[in-house]
Structures are given as structure tokens and as C-alpha cells.
Amino acid sequence: MVAWTAYLTASHLLERRVEEQLKADAGLTHAQYEILARLSAAPGRRLRMTELARGVVASKSGLTYQISRLETMGLVTRETCPSDERGVLAALTGEGMACLERTAPGHVAVVRALLIDLLEPGELETMTRVMRKMEAAMRDDAPPPSR
Amino acid sequence: MVAWTAYLTASHLLERRVEEQLKADAGLTHAQYEILARLSAAPGRRLRMTELARGVVASKSGLTYQISRLETMGLVTRETCPSDERGVLAALTGEGMACLERTAPGHVAVVRALLIDLLEPGELETMTRVMRKMEAAMRDDAPPPSR
DNA sequence: AGGTGGTGGTTCGAATTCGAACCATGGGAG
DNA sequence: CTCCCATGGTTCGAATTCGAACCACCACCT
């Protein structure tokens, strides 16, 4: 359990720092940054809402909120999905891409400074492996009352 | 950066599960549970507000809110600090302690199932070491504009 | 075709969080 | 002893989050 406590403390602190840096440097929330990043990596720079929600691990309603927010900032647009009339695609705008490119270096710097650079290569590798195991365990493992 | 992404996803998922379990089993927020846990481990089962805030890594205002909340639930009381008239001690009540003891097993079970038990002994050890390094780096390292 | 369950998104209300501004007390410096 | 700044908590308003309820459309089944 000492591991768990350490994990909680460290992750809270890190989240705080990241949030702080992004807000100061780019006026973005970490959640918003994650959305932009996901979109930029997607084919055509657009993704279905649900897919995106799964990716950033947020509730559907939370995502709706943030996309609206990003839309009024001009970083994202909504398009109706051609293959499914009810679907919505969130698409990164040029401005959104520019914003991301402008913001990424600072963000990456913080992450490196507070996480990556602290680790021995081996440690980094185990961390990644562990995180993947966790994700695998939680993605399919009984989402309590379903499946 | 792939490590960072994996980390984000895994931690979000885990947080979600933990939150869900605590809410369902005990009607507590993870934040609230952390507060109770910290208090139970403190000498005299009471702590100064600021100290507690540092421990659980929350803003002072956030802590004020949650302590008020826990107070109306009868799990915690506020006492004025004897040595410092303006200070406030948050103290775990008997009921609070009982609630914690009732809740802990389920919580621990989830954490074990989704994190601890997935790890080889060595991995667990590395994780802990890494988390400690991160905490150390962030606790004293330039909290941007201060110290 | 017509119905039926299910999926995709949004809306709504409630809860939580933060930071900034604010009072009150402590602890020196002069 | 008095003044002044730093510290400890609370209050306030704004932003974000979630889950539940809701509507609209798809896909399959008869």
C-alpha cells in the first residue's frame, strides 16, 4: 500500500504541474490539450466523438462540453459523419493544429523534466509495460455491470 | 512520449474505477477517502488543515469544502488548534474511523486487483522508487514563482 | 415494410475543484 | 510596545466533471 500512496501523491503533483504549465503557456486545460493531441494523431485529423471519449477517458457529456468549448475557440469543428447520420466528427482546424504545435514543446519539456528524465532507461521501460498491463486489465475486464 | 500516453490512459482508467467503487460501496469520493485515511494515520487522528492539504495534494479551498462536507456527515470534526489560535485541526470521529474500517477492504481489493497484483515484485519496487523520485523532484523543485 | 432494441450525442442538474480576494492571528524588527 | 508582513483558513465566483434522462437515427428481425 505504500506504493499506492506514493503513486497517488506523485500523480496528483504531476497533474497539477502539467495543468499549471498548460494554462499559463497556452490557456488550455490538460483535458483540452489531450483532445487536440489525439485529434492531431488521428487519420484526417478527425475522430468520432465516442472514439475520442474512449481515448481520453472522459464521459460522453464531458467531451461534448469540451468540444463545444474548443469549437468556440476555433480550434476544432464539428462535422456530421458521412456514413452515419447521427454521428459527429470532431475535426482539428488549422488554427487548432497551429496552437498544438506552438504548445507542444513546453508541455513536453515539463513532462520530460518531471517524469521521463528522472528515470533510468530500464525504469522507463518497466513503467510503460506496467501501464499497458493496467490498461489491458481495465479495458476489457468486467466493467462492473455490463458486457 | 508513448510512456506518457500510456501513463495518462492507465491512471485515468484506474481513477475512474476507484471512484466508482468507493461511491457505490460507501458513498465517498476518492478525495474524501484519502482525507479519512490520512487522518486515521496521523497522531491523535487529527491534522492541521494545511498539513492535510499538502498530504492529499489539494488546494486549501478544496480541502475546506471537503472537510465541511465530511463534518456534516459526522465523520470529522473541526477543533481550533490550542497552540495557534487561527489554526484548525481536522479530527476523525469515532464514526469516521468506523466508516473507514468498513470501507477500506473493498477499496484495497480494487487497488490490488487493478494495480498491485498485476506487477512482478521487481516491477512494484521500481514503481515505488520512481514515484518517490517524482515526488521529491516536485516537492522542492522550483514551484514556479516562489521559494 | 414495420417494429424494436441499441448506439451516438446532447442537455440538464448537482457536485467538486481551483485561484483570487479576504479577514484574523502570529512573530519579529525597530 | 507598536507596526508590518507572512501564514492559516474561509468565502466567493467561475469552470469543469459526471451520471441520468432524453431524442434521433441505424440495423436487424419477422
* Nearest nucleotide (CA of B68 to C1'): D10
* Distance, CA of B112 to CA of B108 (rounded, Å): 6
Asked if residue B9 belongs to a domain, the reply is no
Look up the CATH number of the domain holding residue B111: 1.10.10.10
Asked if residue A145 belongs to a domain, the reply is no
Q: Averaged over A30-38, what is the pLDDT?
A: 97
Question: What b/e string do you get for B60-84 counting C-beta neighbours within 10 Å, with b at 16 or more?
Answer: eeebeebbeebeeeebbeeeeeeee
Asked if residue B128 belongs to a domain, the reply is yes
* Distance, CA of A69 to CA of A56 (rounded, Å): 16
pLDDT, residue B123, reads 94
Kindly list the residues from chain B whose CB atom is less than 8 angstroms away from the CB atom of residue A129. Answer: 123
Q: Number of A:B CB contacts under 8 A? A: 127
Asked if residue A55 belongs to a domain, the reply is yes
Q: Which three cell numbers stand for residue B31?
A: 478525495
Kindly list the residues from chain A whose CB atom is less than 8 angstroms away from the CB atom of residue B36. Answer: none
CB-based contact A42:A90 (threshold 8 Å): no
CA–CA distance from B2 to each of A124, B40, B89 (Å)? 10, 38, 43
Q: Averaged over A102-109, what is the pLDDT?
A: 96
CA–CA distance from B67 to each of A16, B19, B82, B84, B120 (Å)? 21, 18, 19, 19, 38
The distance in angstroms from the start CA to the end CA of chain A is 30
As ranges, strand D nucleotides with an atom below 7 A of a protein CB are 7-13, 15-21, 24-27
Residue A104 distance to chain B (closest CA, Å) = 12
Helix residue ranges, H only, chain A: 2-26, 30-41, 49-56, 60-72, 94-114, 121-140
* Distance, CA of A98 to CA of A47 (rounded, Å): 18
Asked if residue A5 belongs to a domain, the reply is no
As ranges, strand C nucleotides with an atom below 7 A of a protein CB are 7-13, 15-21, 24-27
pLDDT, residue A139, reads 85
Residue A144 above 70 pLDDT? no
Asked if residue B94 belongs to a domain, the reply is yes
Asked if residue A8 belongs to a domain, the reply is no
C-beta atoms surrounding B86 within 10 Å: 6
What residue in B sits closest to A117 (Cα-Cα)? B134
* Distance, CA of A83 to CA of A71 (rounded, Å): 22
pLDDT interval class at A1 (50, 70, 90):
confident
pLDDT, residue A43, reads 95
pLDDT, residue B139, reads 85
pLDDT per 10-residue tile (average), chain B, 147 residues: 94 95 95 97 96 95 98 97 93 97 96 95 94 90 46
CA–CA distance from B16 to each of B30, B50, B135 (Å)? 10, 27, 22
Asked if residue B131 belongs to a domain, the reply is yes
Kindly list the residues from chain B whose CB atom is less than 8 angstroms away from the CB atom of residue A108. Answer: 1
Residue B69 structural domain: 17-139
Residue whose entry in the numeric block shows the C-alpha cell 480541502? B63
Closest CA to B11 of A104, A117, A124, A14: A14
CB-based contact B49:B38 (threshold 8 Å): no
The count of domains in chain A is: 1
CB-based contact B96:B39 (threshold 8 Å): yes
Closest CA to A18 of B75, B27, B67, B7: B7
